[in-house]
Amino acid sequence: MIGHILLGALLVLMFFALLAPNESMRWWATQSRAESERRSERVHDLIAAERGGKDERISYIVYISGVGAFEPEASLAGERPLLDAVRTKLDGIGLVSQIYPYSMTNQGLLEERLSGWWWRIVQRHTYGGPMAPLARIIINVRNALQVGVSLDRRYGPLYSLGIANVIWDELLDAGYHPADKRPIVLLSWSGGAQIALGASWYLAATGAPVHLLSIGGFMDSDPGLDKLTHLWHFKGSRDWVQGAAGLFPGRWPMSRKSSWNRALADGRLTIRSIGPLKHLGRGSYLSNATELADGRTGREITVETICTTLVEAGLATWRTPGTPLPPVKPPVLHGHPRRLRAALPLRRSRRRTGSAI
């Protein structure tokens, strides 16, 4: 019985592996010229508009979930408490978290898509029972395949453009004024770091400074690094997942002209270990169940690292105790027309041997 279940799961994953690049191609094919022109005019009008003036926020933080996510709203265990803690400690920030980075239309797995019925079944099994581990693996692998699309030099530029559109939409909904060019901080975890890195190429084309703060991020030497103002990569000493990304040739010290090593040489890339943290489970970045040697949990270490980094970089200030928190933006439907496609240049695809898919 178990063998049949595993075989069925393997066949399903192979099916989604074959379809992984299809979503980016289908998305690109639906971008009509008329729609592109409308988007271009809208973005041009927003950028040319008078500055907001009333926005007192120093920067906007955009959270990009890890590969275990299945909907736009932060849903993984530990994600929402982590973001709430950051929001409680910091002032002067706008926090955007309603992004599903594994779909270029911000459409979660549980929404009205052809395979939605299947993902609703899988998602129900993630909460417990003998099938829970397998259900979580299926979701993780499906999203990891989309990370592979982002890594691929053939499909990656299209995928990154779609995700940049999603991020831009949510920033505008959160009150971001393009003319103000306030800094954008992409706060990412796990495979979300690669997705954020690819999207940063296009977001930087708006003229706003773009920073990336990676917590255990899995990422290649993506051309998006060339556009980042700064990348902070924080890792746990027991996290082998993010360490595996060091196998990408672009991250080898001998690849001196790669985007990764150029950023290191320019001082735009900071890499630091933040303790004996794992990628998942007890003692991980999001875990609040196990105290480490210094008495703090993994989540407390992660929150302190994020907040201290942003304050020291001048991207936020410490919140005064008793200061009321700003209201949280309620969920909104994806798909509204504010996009970047026609306003931003398609980045040049850099070929490399083989496919990451």
pLDDT tens digits for range 192-207? 999 999 999 999 998 9
Lowest-pLDDT choice from 63-67, 169-173, 218-222, 305-309 = 169-173
The whole-number average pLDDT for the span 96-100 is 93
Domain of 123: which CATH number? 3.40.50.1820
More confident of the two residues 253 and 17: 253
Contact 188/195 with Cβ under 8 angstroms?
yes
Residue 75 domain flag = yes
pLDDT of residue 13: 62
The whole-number average pLDDT for the span 71-85 is 82
pLDDT of residue 334: 41
pLDDT beyond 80 at 74: no
Residue 40 domain flag = no
Residue 48 domain flag = no
Residue 16 domain flag = no
Helices (DSSP H) in the chain: which residue ranges? 2-29, 33-48, 79-89, 116-125, 132-151, 156-173, 192-203, 240-244, 259-266, 298-312
Q: pTM value?
A: 0.85
Residue 352 domain flag = no
Query: 243-296, pLDDT tens digit by residue?
Result: 999 999 999 999 999 999 999 999 999 999 999 999 998 899 999 987 888 889
The whole-number average pLDDT for the span 223-238 is 97
pLDDT of residue 36: 66
Contact 316/307 with Cβ under 8 angstroms?
yes
Lowest-pLDDT choice from 24-33, 178-187, 201-210, 280-289 = 24-33
Task: Determine the residue type at 49.
Answer: A
pLDDT of residue 108: 87
Strands 90-91 and 317-318: antiparallel
Q: How far apart are CA 254 and CA 224, in angstroms?
A: 20
Q: How many domains does the chain have?
A: 1
pLDDT of residue 355: 32
pLDDT beyond 80 at 97: yes
Q: 65 lies in which domain range?
A: 57-318
Residue 327 domain flag = no
Average predicted confidence (pLDDT) for the chain: 83
Residue 186 domain flag = yes
Residue 283 domain flag = yes
Query: 291-339, pLDDT tens digit by residue?
Result: 888 889 999 999 999 999 999 999 999 998 878 777 766 554 444 334 4
The whole-number average pLDDT for the span 104-129 is 83
Q: Give 55's pLDDT tier (boundaries 50, 70, 90).
A: confident
pLDDT beyond 50 at 239: yes
